[in-house]
Amino acid sequence: MADQTQEGTSLILYIGMLGMFFLALAIVGFVIIYKRRLLKQQVKLQEQKIIHQQQLLQSAVKIQDDERKRFAADLHDEIGGGISTILLSVERIKNAQVDQPEMVSKSQHIRDQLNDLLQKVREISYNIMPPTLEDFGLHEAISDLCYSISESSDKKVHYEWKGDEERLDFSQELAFYRIIKELLVNAVKHSEANTISITIENLAESFQLMLQDNGKGFDEEKQQKGAGLRNIKDRALILGATLHISSKIQQGTTVHIQLNK
């Protein structure tokens, strides 16, 4: 009888321990599932925040680009057209005063100044929204930009396009153009580089940009809040592209951007 009681007690203890084990296992499993769900929700929320941020940036940049385009057109058509009209008037005055050398000389001087002003207006209009980009694409626009910098400075700009020449969406081309121009301006004005290399690879699965210079470099930690770098990061974010910047003091800078198609 005592043995049966002991066996019953042992069985109850065994069942109790087994029950506690499964209960503990269930609690652990519940905690794991809960944490996984919480992590998924956090990841989803983060993704939604990124998407929302991209949409806000995209809208803001599109408004800026549209405004630039309108301003460039107005500058070229209205201001440029007005200067051209004044030039014609000055030319008529000059021709009408052929017997007055002093007036002819003054008219010629005014004409030369107006021509210089007209050229500057056209250059500003082109820089704001280059027609080459819209008409012929990123490849030609970057080629023109590199040539212009090489001709107007003592910097050597090497440019190479690899792979397919099929065009991206215009909004993507414009974003890359702005990024490259910002990088070139930084390299020319601030890095003290004398050689700049740009390589673009337009592959089936990705579009990649690599820009390198042999300038003085910079401290990446101190440059995080710079307006130029922030603009580049914003445009890369809008593109959905990965951006990697590597720079060391006196060792130059390398920028790599990859857009997966």
What residue spans define the domains of the chain? Answer: 131-261
CA angle, 8 as apex, 7 and 13 as ends, to 5°? 95
Give, for 209, the enclosing helix (H) or strand (E).
strand 206-213
Q: Is 38 helix (H, G, I), strand (E, B) or coil?
A: helix
Q: Which CATH architecture has domain 131-261?
A: 2-Layer Sandwich (3.30)
Q: What is the pLDDT of residue 243?
A: 95
Greatest alpha-carbon pair distance for the chain in Å reads: 145
Q: What is the pLDDT of residue 227?
A: 66
H-type alpha helices, the chain = 2-74, 80-96, 101-128, 131-136, 138-152, 170-189, 227-239
At 172, phi and psi to the nearest 5? -70, -40
Structure tokens at 65: 């680009």
Q: Which residues have a Cβ under 8 Å from the Cβ of 219 and sit 6 or more positions away?
A: 247, 249
Residues facing residue 213 across a β-bridge: 196, 253
Nearest to 142 by CA among 188, 184, 204, 170: 184
Predicted TM-score (pTM) of the model is 0.64
Q: What are the per-10-residue average pLDDT scores of the chain (261 residues)?
A: 57 69 74 78 74 67 68 68 75 72 76 80 76 90 91 88 90 92 86 91 94 85 67 87 90 93 85
Q: What is the pLDDT of residue 140?
A: 94
The amino acid occupying position 198 is: I
Q: What is the pLDDT of residue 25?
A: 77
Q: Is 75 helix (H, G, I), strand (E, B) or coil?
A: helix
